[in-house]
């Protein structure tokens, strides 16, 4: 009983002490904040604007205490107000209210001073262009603090404090871009674990260098340079590409990383192959529409078939070569063979995997391979020789199953005549259409092969037997 | 007796053989490299002859020379036969098949002596006709492969790949006949090793005639075949005695 009494008394004394100490602090503050907080220190006071928007006129004493302005009195900023005067102001909207309130800051923080921080440059420029950015958007009002990493949990919050609002950037050629970075976009991108300055190197809480671009395109190209800091392999691949060649020749329309991959909302490609084709379509609309009507494109678009080749399967993604070079042309059978020699893929569609092999064993295929080696090893100039695309087409490849055989034959001779100018209609029959000779396809050739396959071994065997017997008799006679 | 040399081939034949040896070698080298294009040695030859285009040109024009030589050979042969300068010595006769059977029996120990031969043995005739018929096939199919556009004007298109198959396979057949049969018979045959010089000098020793062409020798010397064969067997017997 006695022990319980002691605990109660001790608790009372401690709580009494704490009341005294906090009252002492509030005494000091009372001088500064006056009686304002008697009303504004309690939640529930609402200010309503003409357009129906509202704002809570509550001031959190704890946040005020931690603010950079903790030494100021309420009336130092709210100079219209005093213990005697509490004028009623009318504002059209919350925005107008914020802009007006932000003018208070400028009484102490002069324009010249603000401009010294490079981060404010664009903001003040836009302000003079009629688009004010209230200081409180970034710095807060009663809880005003120096904007720093300490204020914000992470860099995104810090940067988005400004860049989360629509900002516009103007260039020397008077182009402008307006952008607002959406946090949700950032969070769904593959780079969600990165901080802003990982890509925007040179920028930080303390640094916001002012850069001067001629136009939007130059700005995009310069920004895409950042990708190579991590993706150097891909970057060095692009140096061999036709896009880079065009860019280095001064064609600013040539695509850079961000044109295909995007920037803040960057996603992993490859899940949906149609998306890859669509990226190329942005610039290569004509070729895309031809491709879309081809056997490959139709399967991709109509059936969402993921086996068919999209642009990058033949052209590659990064080191895209000029497809009009001899070197590219000589590698075309390799490109087709990537799928058309693959038994797993071809068996799904009932297609033969012999097509590439029969081509490579044909006059054209053998010549092509030899030309390629001659050129690569001895630098000999090579002549053009028919490859897959010369008969089947490139982007406009169609299935031979859907065409009438007679029409197919008529088409084929036209392809032959591209090189063999005077070829008569029968000439196209000299190509066995990738079929291996059999009794049903090319029986004449099948029979000739068959006869030789029997006759030649018999001949060799007979000759060897005769030689053997002759030598044997000679040995026996001796 | 051993010193007697008999004229077997005229200068024309010697030159003809040289030509054929060279032309045939060029055709085989440039032809087999095209058939076995995937071998390293083929690539080496192709690249060192100036590339596949040059190799094909060499093959085609050498083929043309070969074709000309074949036709010249036939005309000369026909002219010789018709003018009576030489007999129809290359004609295949029933005797050749009997000779073949007798020789095989002899090799197997079922006959005491090999078949006596005339100017050309059945082996030489087989080789000659093998090469000559092959020559026609090679020339015909070769021309079709050289000028496919011309030939498909009046022949089915399928004839072109058929020509290719035939040209390649018949090429191997001729190559086998020459590389195995001819080279064995004129170089590695233990009776004449290291080399039969007759086609280069034009002369053959009487002793070899005695063994290899007894019928022709009998006709030349106006003797009976029996007499020549007796001489041959006596010589053989002397040799065995000498060696033992």
pLDDT in tens, A408-453: 888 899 999 999 999 999 999 999 889 889 999 889 999 999 999 9
Each domain of chain A, given as residue ranges in start order, spans 27-146, 151-268, 351-436, 439-478
Q: What is the pLDDT of residue B197?
A: 87
Q: Which residue has the higher pLDDT, A110 or A426?
A: A426
CB contact under 8 A, B51 and A373: no
pLDDT tens-digit series, residues A117-154: 666 776 777 777 777 888 887 777 887 766 554 555 67
Q: What is the pLDDT of residue A152?
A: 57
- Which chain B residues have a beta carbon less than 8 Å from that of A366? 34, 37
CB contact under 8 A, B180 and A378: no
Q: Does A473 touch chain B (CB under 8 A)?
A: yes
Q: Does A455 touch chain B (CB under 8 A)?
A: yes
Strands B203-205 and A167-170: unpaired
Nearest CA in chain A to B193: A471
Which residues, at least 6 apart from A195, have a Cβ–Cβ distance to it below 8 Å? A154, A155, A156
Q: How far does A384 lie from chain B, in Å, by closest CA?
A: 12
Instruction: Measure CB to CB from residue A442 to each of B47, B153, B158 and give the nearest one.
Output: B158
Q: How far does B31 lie from chain A, in Å, by closest CA?
A: 14
Q: Which two structure tokens, joined as six digits, stand for A200?
A: 């925007």
A132-139 contact pairs (CB < 8 A, 24+): A132/A99, A132/A102, A133/A162, A133/A165, A134/A98, A134/A99, A134/A101, A134/A102, A135/A102, A135/A105, A135/A109, A136/A98, A136/A101, A136/A102, A136/A105, A137/A98, A137/A161, A137/A162, A137/A165, A138/A162, A139/A105
Q: What is the pLDDT of residue A5?
A: 58
Q: What is the pLDDT of residue A22?
A: 44
CB contact under 8 A, A448 and B51: no
Task: Judge whether A180 and A165 are in contact, CB under 8 Å.
Answer: yes
B42: enclosing H helix or E strand: helix B40-48
Q: Using alpha carbons, select from A284, A338, A294, A288 the residue that is nearest to residue A313.
A: A338
Nearest CA in chain A to B103: A470
CB contact under 8 A, B159 and A444: yes
3 state SS of A200: coil
Nearest CA in chain A to B101: A466
pLDDT tens-digit series, residues A46-71: 888 888 888 888 888 888 887 878 77
For residue A2, pLDDT beyond 70: no
What is this structure's pTM? 0.73
| Distance from C-alpha of B60 to C-alpha of B141, rounded to nearest angstrom | 12
Fold of B5-243: Fumarate Reductase Cytochrome B subunit (1.20.950)
Which residues, at least 6 apart from A308, have a Cβ–Cβ distance to it below 8 Å? A273, A295, A296, A297, A299, A300
Q: Using alpha carbons, select from A34, A132, A13 the residue that is nearest to residue A77.
A: A34
pLDDT tens-digit series, residues B22-39: 999 999 999 999 999 999
Q: Using alpha carbons, select from A256, A259, A203, A201 the residue that is nearest to residue A230.
A: A201
Q: Does A458 touch chain B (CB under 8 A)?
A: no
B204: enclosing H helix or E strand: strand B203-205
CB contact under 8 A, A445 and B51: no
Q: How far does B5 lie from chain A, in Å, by closest CA?
A: 25
Q: What is the pLDDT of residue B113?
A: 83
For A379: left if phi > 0, alpha if psi spans -120 to 50, otherwise beta; the answer is left
Q: How far does A427 lie from chain B, in Å, by closest CA?
A: 5
CB contact under 8 A, B52 and A464: no
Q: Which two structure tokens, joined as six digits, stand for A160?
A: 């988005």
A13-26 in b/e burial notation, b at 16+ Cβ within 10 A? eeeeeeeeeeeeee
Beta bridge partners of A56: A46
Q: How far does B89 lie from chain A, in Å, by closest CA?
A: 23
Section A202-208 average pLDDT: 80
| Distance from C-alpha of B178 to C-alpha of B198, rounded to nearest angstrom | 17
- Which chain B residues have a beta carbon less than 8 Å from that of A452? 165-166, 169-170, 173
| Complete DSSP assignment for A68-111 | TTTTS-HHHHSTT--SS-------S-HHHHHHHHHHHHHHHS-H
Task: Judge whether B127 and B177 are in contact, CB under 8 Å.
Answer: yes
B52: enclosing H helix or E strand: helix B52-82
Q: How far does B4 lie from chain A, in Å, by closest CA?
A: 25
CB contact under 8 A, A463 and B158: no
Q: What is the distance of C-alpha A191 from the center of its chain?
A: 10
Interface of A with B in 43-82 (CB under 8 A): none
For residue B57, pLDDT beyond 60: yes
Cα separation of the two ends of chain B: 22
Q: Is the peptide bond before B150 cis (omega within 30 degrees of 0)?
A: no
CB contact under 8 A, A445 and B160: no
For residue B83, pLDDT beyond 50: yes
Beta bridge partners of B6: B204
Instruction: Measure CB to CB from residue A427 to each of B47, B149, B190 and give the nearest one.
Output: B149
Q: What is the pLDDT of residue A361?
A: 92
Instruction: Measure CB to CB from residue B107 to each of A369, A420, A473 and give the nearest one.
Output: A473
Q: What is the pLDDT of residue A34?
A: 61
Which DSSP state fits A206?
S
| Distance from C-alpha of B56 to C-alpha of B68, rounded to nearest angstrom | 18
Q: Which two structure tokens, joined as six digits, stand for A351?
A: 């297609």
Q: Is the peptide bond before B194 cis (omega within 30 degrees of 0)?
A: yes
Q: How far does A410 lie from chain B, in Å, by closest CA?
A: 14
Nearest CA in chain B to A465: B104
Which residues, at least 6 apart from A164, have a Cβ–Cβ distance to it below 8 Å? A180, A181, A182, A183
Cα separation of the two ends of chain A: 138
| Distance from C-alpha of A413 to C-alpha of B152, rounded to nearest angstrom | 12
SS3 content of chain A, % helix, strand, coil (to 5): 55, 5, 40
- Name the packing angle between helices B122-146 and B159-176 (round to 10°): 150
CB contact under 8 A, B152 and A464: no
Nearest CA in chain A to B38: A366
Backbone angles phi, psi at A42, to 5 degrees: -110, 135
3 state SS of B5: strand
CB contact under 8 A, B176 and A463: yes
ipTM: 0.90
Q: How far does A439 lie from chain B, in Å, by closest CA?
A: 13
Section A15-41 average pLDDT: 57
| Distance from C-alpha of B146 to C-alpha of B157, rounded to nearest angstrom | 14
What distances in angstroms separate CA A195 from CA A118, A191, A260, A283, one per listed residue? 20, 8, 22, 31
Backbone angles phi, psi at A173, to 5 degrees: -85, 20
User: How crowded is residue B195: how many other Cβ atoms within 10 Å of its Cβ?
Assistant: 12
pLDDT tens-digit series, residues B195-237: 888 889 999 988 888 888 888 888 888 888 888 888 888 888 8
Instruction: Measure CB to CB from residue A373 to each of B43, B172, B190 and give the nearest one.
Output: B43
A54: enclosing H helix or E strand: strand A54-56
């Amino acid at each position: 009983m006695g022990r319980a009494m002691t605990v109660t008394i001790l608790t009372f004394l401690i709580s009494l002490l704490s009341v005294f100490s906090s009252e002492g602090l509030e005494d000091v503050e009372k001088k500064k904040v006056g009686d304002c907080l008697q009303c504004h220190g309690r939640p529930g006071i609402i200010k309503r604007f003409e357009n129906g928007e509202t704002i809570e006129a509550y001031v959190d004493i704890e946040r005020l205490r931690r603010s950079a302005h903790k030494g100021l009195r309420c009336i130092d900023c709210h100079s219209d107000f005093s213990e005697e005067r509490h004028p009623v102001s009318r504002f059209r909207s919350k925005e107008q209210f914020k802009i007006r309130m932000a003018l208070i800051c400028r009484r102490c923080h002069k324009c010249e001073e603000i401009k010294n921080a490079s981060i404010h440059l664009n903001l003040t420029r836009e302000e003079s262009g009629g688009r004010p950015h209230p200081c409180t958007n970034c710095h807060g009002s009663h809880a005003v603090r120096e904007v720093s990493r300490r204020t914000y949990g992470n860099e995104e919050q810090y940067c988005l404090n400004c860049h989360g609002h629509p900002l516009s950037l103007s260039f020397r050629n008077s182009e402008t871009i307006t952008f607002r970075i959406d946090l949700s976009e950032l969070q769904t991108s593959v780079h969600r674990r990165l901080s802003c300055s990982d890509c925007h190197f040179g920028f930080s809480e303390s640094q916001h260098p002012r850069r001067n671009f001629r136009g939007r395109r130059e700005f995009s190209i310069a920004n895409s340079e950042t990708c190579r800091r991590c993706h150097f392999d891909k970057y060095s691949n692009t140096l061999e590409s036709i896009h880079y060649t065009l860019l280095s020749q001064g064609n600013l329309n040539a695509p850079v990383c961000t044109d295909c991959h995007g920037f803040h909302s960057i996603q992993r490609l490859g899940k949906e192959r149609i998306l890859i084709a669509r990226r190329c379509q942005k610039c290569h609309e004509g070729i895309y529409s031809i491709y879309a009507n081809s056997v490959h494109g139709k399967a991709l678009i109509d059936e969402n078939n993921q086996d068919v080749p999209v642009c990058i399967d033949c052209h590659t993604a990064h080191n895209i070569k000029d497809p009009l070079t001899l070197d590219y042309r000589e590698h075309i059978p390799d490109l087709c063979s990537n799928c058309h020699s693959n038994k797993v893929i071809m068996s799904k569609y009932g297609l033969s995997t012999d097509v590439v092999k029969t081509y490579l064993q044909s006059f054209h295929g053998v010549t092509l391979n030899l030309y390629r080696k001659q050129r690569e090893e001895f630098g000999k100039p090579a002549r053009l020789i028919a490859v897959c695309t010369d008969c089947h087409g490139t982007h406009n490849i169609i299935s031979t199953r859907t065409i009438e055989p007679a029409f197919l034959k008529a088409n084929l001779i036209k392809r032959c005549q591209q090189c063999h100018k005077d070829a008569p209609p029968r000439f196209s029959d000299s190509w066995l259409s990738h079929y291996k000779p059999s009794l049903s396809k090319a029986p004449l050739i099948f029979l000739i092969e068959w006869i030789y396959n029997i006759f030649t071994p018999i001949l060799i065997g007979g000759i060897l037997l005769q030689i053997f017997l002759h030598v044997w008799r000679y040995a026996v006679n001796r | 007796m051993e010193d007697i040399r008999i004229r077997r081939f005229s200068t024309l034949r010697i030159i003809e053989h040289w030509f054929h040896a060279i032309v045939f070698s060029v055709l085989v080298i440039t032809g087999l490299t095209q058939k076995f294009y995937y071998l390293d040695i083929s690539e080496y030859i192709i690249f060192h002859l100036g590339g596949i285009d040059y190799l094909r040109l060499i093959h085609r024009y050498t083929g043309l020379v070969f074709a000309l030589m074949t036709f010249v050979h036939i005309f000369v042969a026909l002219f010789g036969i018709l003018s009576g300068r030489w007999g129809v010595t290359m004609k295949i006769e029933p005797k050749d098949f009997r000779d073949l059977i007798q020789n095989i029996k002899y090799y197997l120990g079922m006959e005491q002596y090999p078949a006596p031969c005339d100017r050309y043995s059945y082996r030489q005739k087989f080789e000659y006709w093998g090469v000559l018929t092959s020559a026609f096939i090679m020339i015909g199919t070769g021309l079709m492969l050289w000028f496919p556009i011309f030939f498909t004007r009046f022949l089915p298109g399928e004839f072109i790949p058929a020509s290719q198959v035939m040209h390649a396979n018949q090429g191997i057949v001729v190559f086998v006949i020459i590389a195995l049969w001819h080279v064995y018979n004129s170089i590695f045959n233990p009776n004449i090793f290291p080399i039969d010089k007759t086609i280069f000098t034009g002369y053959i020793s009487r002793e070899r005639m005695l063994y290899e062409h007894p019928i022709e020798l009998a006709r030349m010397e106006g003797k009976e075949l029996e007499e020549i064969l007796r001489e041959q067997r006596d010589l053989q017997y002397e040799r065995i005695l000498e060696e033992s």
